[in-house]
Amino acid sequence: MDKKKKLLLCKEVDWPIINDGIILPPELNHVFGQTKVGKMLEESKVKTVRIILDGRVYYAQVVTTTSGDKGKADTGLKLSYSKNSPLANKFKSLFKHSYDSYMSKRKRREKDELFTDLTKKEYLCLYSTKYLDTFYAEAILANNADDFIFTHDDGIYKSFGYSGDIVRVLHTIGRNKYYRANWKALVLKFHDAWKAHQNCILLNHNSKFIWGNEVELNLDEKIGDVFGLSIENKEFIREIEEEDLIQLIWLDKLDFSDFKKLVSTLFTKSIEKAERKAIKDEITSLDATASHYIHEESKKIIENIQKELNAFKDLTSQYSERMVELINRISTQEAEINDLKETIKELNEKKKAQEELRSIKEELIEVKNLLKSYEKV
C-alpha cells in the first residue's frame, strides 16, 4: 500500500452507514476534524470532505455531535450525508445484500432485530491520504468482490462493470479461457459501466488516475518511450485518458497479454497489490474448498469403515453362532462314537464268549463219542 494511505477504520455495514452517516471513533477526531495543519474543526462548524470510492469522488460533511447529559456532554464527530445523497445511493447499490436485508426486516416490522442477525457481513474501510479533506473508501462485500460470478450471457458483462476496478477485471479475464477469448467486449463493458456512475464527478487531483487507479509512472515521460507505441494527439503519460486506452484495444497487433502488460506498467503497484490479494483470496478459497473436501471425504471414509466394521461384526457373530453349533454337534458325535465303541466292545466280548462255548461244545462232543466207543468194548 502507498505509504501516504493508512487504514483508519473498517466498520461493519449497518443501517446508518447506508442511510445517513458514520459516527467516528474519538481516536480519529484529529484526522477527520483537522481543517488545517494544527487547526481543528470548531463546534457547530462543518468540514466538507471527499470520499474516493471506485475511482469516483463523493462528498460528505464532518459535523460535530454531542452525547450525554447537559454539562457533561461529550463532543464527537460524524461523517454525515443525506439519505438521498450520491454517497448514500452508492452505498445502497454497493452494499446491496445489507440494504436488502434491512429493508426486508423493516417491511416485516421486526424493528427489534433491525440492525442484527445478518448472516453475511459487509464492511466499509476508510483510508487517509496526504490531503486533509480526502479519504479513500473500500467495500468488502458479502459475496467477496474479488470473485466474479459469470454466466455465458449478458450477465457476464454486468459483473465486470460492477467492480469498478480494471486491475481486478484483467486479473479475472486472464484466469479464464472463455473470458480471454472475449476480452475486448469485456473491457468495453467495464468501461461503459464505469462511465455510467451517476451523481459523481471524476477525481481532479494532482496525481493521475485512470479508471480509479493511480498511475505510478513519471507523468512527464513520453508515451512512445514507455510503451513503444503512439496515441493520437497525446505525447506524455499525464495526457492519457480512459478513452485512449479503449482505442488501443482495436489495434491488430495488440492482444490481451499486451494490453494487460500496458495496464500493468501504468499501475505497477496497484496491480501487484490486487493480484497478491486475488492470489491470497484464491488460496484461502482453495484451502476452504480443500478443507471441506477433506472433511467430506473423511466423513465418507469413516462411514464406509463403520459399515465394514458392522458387516464384520455381523459376520463374526454369525461365525460364532456357527462355531458353537458345530462344537455342539462334534460333542454329540463324540458321545455317539463312544457309545458305538462300547457297543462294539460288548459285541466283541459276546463273540469271544460264543467262541469259547463253541469250543466247549466241541470238546463235549468228543468226550461223548469217546464214551460211546468204551461202551461197545
- pLDDT score of 117 more than 50: no
Is 162's pLDDT higher than 70? Answer: no
Provide the grid cell at 202.
471524476
**Percent of the chain surpassing pLDDT 90:** 14
109: left (phi over 0), alpha (psi -120 to 50) or beta: left
Q: In three state form, how does the secondary structure of 235-291 look?
A: CEHHHCCHHHHHHHCCCCCCCHHHHHHHHHHHCHHHHHHHHHHHHHHHHHHHHHHHH
Average pLDDT across the chain, whole number: 77
Residue whose cell numbers read 479475472: 172
**pLDDT tens string 271-327:** 444 555 555 566 666 666 666 667 777 778 888 888 888 888 888 888 788 888 888
Neighbours of 199 (CB within 10 A): 12
Please indicate whether residue 213 or residue 83 has the higher confidence score (pLDDT): 83
Neighbours of 303 (CB within 10 A): 10
> Does pLDDT of 203 surpass 60?
no
One-letter amino acid for residue 179 of the chain: Y
191, 192, 171, 186: which is closest to 260 by C-alpha?
A: 171
pLDDT of residue 357: 86
**Residue 323, number of CB atoms within 10 A of its CB:** 10
Residues 6+ apart with CB under 8 A from 327: none
SS3 212: coil
| Residues forming a β-bridge with 310 | none
pLDDT of residue 111: 47
Mean predicted confidence (pLDDT) in 83-109: 85
Greatest Cα-to-Cα distance within the chain, rounded to the nearest angstrom: 177
Question: Among 48-57, 179-188, 267-276, 321-330, which range has the highest average pLDDT?
Answer: 48-57
Q: Give the pLDDT mean for 221-239.
A: 88
Confidence band for 67, pLDDT divided at 50, 70 and 90: low
Contact predicate 180/206, CB 8 Å: no
Q: For residues 86 and 98, what is the distance between their CA atoms, to the nearest angstrom?
A: 18
Q: What is the pLDDT of residue 53?
A: 92
Q: Are 49 and 62 spatial neighbours (Cβ–Cβ below 8 Å)?
A: yes
Residue 170 confidence (pLDDT) above 60 = yes
Closest CA to 264 of 272, 256, 254: 272
What the block records as the C-alpha cell of 307 is: 459399515
Is the pLDDT at 200 greater than 50? The verdict is: no
By mean pLDDT, which of 102-116, 163-177, 228-242 is the weakest? 102-116
Q: What is the mean pLDDT of residues 80-108?
A: 87
Quick check: 88 pLDDT over 70? yes
Helix, coil or strand: residue 66: strand
Four-residue CA torsion sign, 267, 270, 274, 279: positive
For residues 262, 266, 272, 277, the Cα torsion angle rounded to the nearest 10 degrees is -100
Amino acid making up residue 104: S
What is the structure's pLDDT at 51?
Answer: 94
Among the ranges given (8-12, 234-238, 270-274, 351-355), the one the predictor scored with the smallest mean pLDDT? 270-274
pLDDT at residue 199 greater than cutoff 50: no
Percent of the chain with pLDDT over 70: 77
Helix (H) or strand (E) holding 77: strand 74-80
Which domains, from first to last, does the chain contain? Answer: 1-142 (2.40.330), 146-266 (no CATH)
Q: Is the pLDDT of residue 22 over 60?
A: yes
**pLDDT over 50 at 26, yes or no:** yes
pLDDT of residue 279: 57
- Cα separation, 358 vs 9, in Å, equals 126
List CB contacts of 175: < 8 A, sequence separation 6 or more: none
Is the pLDDT reported for residue 153 higher than 80? no
Residue range 252-270: mean pLDDT, rounded: 82
Tell me whether strands 34-36 and 39-40 are parallel, antiparallel or unpaired.
antiparallel
Binned at pLDDT 50, 70 and 90, residue 48 comes out as very high
Q: Which of 95-109, 139-153, 198-212, 323-337 has the lowest mean pLDDT?
A: 139-153
In contact, 55 and 48? CB cutoff 8 Å: no
Tell me which of 272 and 356 has the higher pLDDT. 356
Q: Looking at residue 206, what DSSP letter applies?
A: S
pLDDT value for 93: 92
The pLDDT, as a whole number, for residue 289 is 65
